[in-house]
Amino acid sequence: MLGTDVCSEFTRHGHEVIPVTSGHFDIGDTDATVKAIREIAPDVVVHTAAYTDVDGCERNPEIAHRVNALGTWNVAAGCASVNAAIVVISTDFVFDGAKSAPYTEFDAPNPLGVYGASKLEGERLAAGGCPRHYIVRTSWLYGTAGKCFPQTMLRLAQTRPELSVVADQIGTPTFTLDLAATLPELVRFPLYGTYHIANSGQTSWAGFAKAILEAAGKHDVSIKPIPSEEWPSPTKRPRFSVLRGYVRELQGKEPLRPWEEALAAYTAAMNAK
């Protein structure tokens, strides 16, 4: 999902882009990954591949560790071998949600589940394995090129009059296109380290669902807010995982637009498809 928009944004900025999918090689395979990156010899690798099924990670920790930790390490090793920079896309799930103010890059991570822990391990291994690394944490991604929360809500709303949605997890929905648009600028300078990049504002999953239906003109379906305990999931998720793009603030950069505006742009893009 994110990878598709990353390709279009770098292309739009005049870069030569070589899209790579799981069909080309398995990032869990060290030899194949390093060989492929050496053959391409890119200047930058934007590493968006991951085992993103959060509940799946909880049930299959070895797959999570192989793809999100070892896989990221392998991509970083391939980059280091050709002196390429790596952009590692990571997640708000590296935090435990105990804070009540937005998390900055200077807050200590403490993941609650296997997905967040495996992504955090990937961050650390990439930072150790590739000197030229940008770690970009983002949150609650949705986009026009993949399965995502808005798509699920709209599909369910076709057959149900009411949708039960968790109301006690707070975060920031982020449009993949808005995140992707920041990356060509990010890689222009060798300011290696960690960045939080997400749309502005915050809401709950129930608030997001309500806004999705409103934006799509689905006024006949209601959202029933429920507590996390009523949602069947093996994963403990952070109650509060809003990311503050503090480093970008310090650099004097404009924050990304509010999530409500981004959702309107997503809805328009989906309607135009």
Ligand X SMILES: NC(=O)c1ccc[n+]([C@@H]2O[C@H](COP(=O)([O-])OP(=O)(O)OC[C@H]3O[C@@H](n4cnc5c(N)ncnc54)[C@H](OP(=O)(O)O)[C@@H]3O)[C@@H](O)[C@H]2O)c1
| Site residues for ligand X per CB under 6 A | 1-2, 21-22, 26-28, 48-52, 67, 71, 89, 91, 119, 138-141, 146
* Catalytic residue list contains 246: no
> Least distance from C-beta 236 to ligand X, angstroms?
17
Q: Which is nearer to ligand X, 90 or 267 (CB)?
A: 90
Determine the Cα–Cα distance for residues 141 and 28; give it in Å rounded to an integer.
Answer: 23
Pick the catalytic residue: 51, 103, 115, 134?
115
Point out which residues pair with 133 in neighbouring strands.
Answer: 86
- Kindly state the tokens that stand for 209: 């669902």
Q: Which is nearer to ligand X, 146 or 225 (CB)?
A: 146
State whether residue 258 is helix, strand or coil.
strand
Q: Which is nearer to ligand X, 139 or 203 (CB)?
A: 139
Point out which residues pair with 46 in neighbouring strands.
Answer: 87
> Least distance from C-beta 144 to ligand X, angstroms?
11
Determine the Cα–Cα distance for residues 84 and 13; give it in Å rounded to an integer.
Answer: 19
State whether residue 147 is helix, strand or coil.
coil
Q: Would you say 103 and 243 are in contact if contact means Cβ atoms under 8 Å apart?
A: yes
CA atoms 64, 51, 259, 219: torsion sign:
negative
Q: How many residues does the chain have?
A: 273
Q: Would you say 75 and 127 are in contact if contact means Cβ atoms under 8 Å apart?
A: no
Q: Which is nearer to ligand X, 123 or 221 (CB)?
A: 123
> Least distance from C-beta 198 to ligand X, angstroms?
9
> Least distance from C-beta 5 to ligand X, angstroms?
9
Which residues are known to be catalytic?
115
